[in-house]
Amino acid sequence: MLSQQELEKSPLFQDISYEEYRSLLTCFQAVQKSFRSDDLIYDFSSPKNDAVGIVERGCAALIRIDEEGVATVMEELGPGGVFGRTLAFAGSSGDSLQVVCRTPCDVLFIDYPHILKRCEHACNRHSVLVQNMLRLMSDKAQALSQRVDVLSRRSIREKLLCYFRQLSERAGSNTFTLPFSLSTLADYIATDRSAMMRELKRLREEGVVRSDGRQFTLL
């Protein structure tokens, strides 16, 4: 349950009053849970719940682990991040898909079909919520598009540069900070870490980028 102050910051409950918020929680059979770092938030392999999760506070990550145990970061989920079976990955049967807590999190679970169904009460707050949800889904689609943009590049060099340009654009500056470690970055662009390090060194030597730890500058 969010406090009144937290509610105002919530991307999902924007423009919704505290009273409306409370009645909506009931209406949608919503459940809010808190997690600590490294907690398992959600496991797609257990087919029990078809709920949708929305990150209200903190950070989480969607991880895929394939048959050989290789882990890949599929998505980074900040506040407003949405995840759920219905809107992700058929999940090639063999591998497991999990949402893992990065920093202490509040996550709201909602029965998604309930949102898409027309409310018999035709309640006004419902439609505001749907509108907010649409905003979140647009953001998600955009984030995924950018990911595809990076992954569809044909070499490590191009992948790195593409991702750097995205970060630089987001930061509004030539200098920016990686949201995760270099090891995770290799994972994110779906290549071998050592190969990526080599390419990174080359980029530095050629004067294309400058880097210090996780801080980078495009030249």
Contact region for DNA (CB under 7 A) — 3-11, 80-88, 124-132, 184-192?
184-192
Residue closest to 141 by CA, chosen among 56, 57, 51, 75 = 75
Distance in Å, CB of 68 to a second copy, minimum? 10
Q: Does residue 51 bind DNA (CB under 7 A)?
A: no
Residues ≥6 apart with Cβ < 8 Å to 160: 189, 196, 199, 200, 203
Residue closest to 86 by CA, chosen among 52, 61, 131 = 52
Q: Does residue 76 bind a second copy (CB under 8 A)?
A: no
Q: Does residue 161 bind a second copy (CB under 8 A)?
A: yes
Residue closest to 84 by CA, chosen among 41, 22, 135 = 41
Q: Restricting to residues 200-219, name those near DNA by CB under 7 A.
A: 200-201, 213-214
3-class state of residue 180 by DSSP:
coil
Residues ≥6 apart with Cβ < 8 Å to 125: 16, 20, 23, 24
Give me the half-sphere count of Cα atoms (radius 13 Å) on the Cβ side of residue 84.
Answer: 20
Q: Restricting to residues 162-201, name those near a second copy by CB under 8 A.
A: 162, 165-166, 169-170, 190-192
Distance in Å, CB of 42 to DNA, minimum? 21
Distance in Å, CB of 137 to a second copy, minimum? 4
Chain positions contacting DNA, by CB under 7 A: 154-157, 181-184, 190-201, 213-214
Chain positions contacting a second copy, by CB under 8 A: 15, 64, 70, 72, 74, 82, 86-93, 115-116, 118, 122, 124, 127-128, 130-131, 133-135, 137-138, 140-142, 144-149, 151-154, 161-162, 165-166, 169-170, 190-192
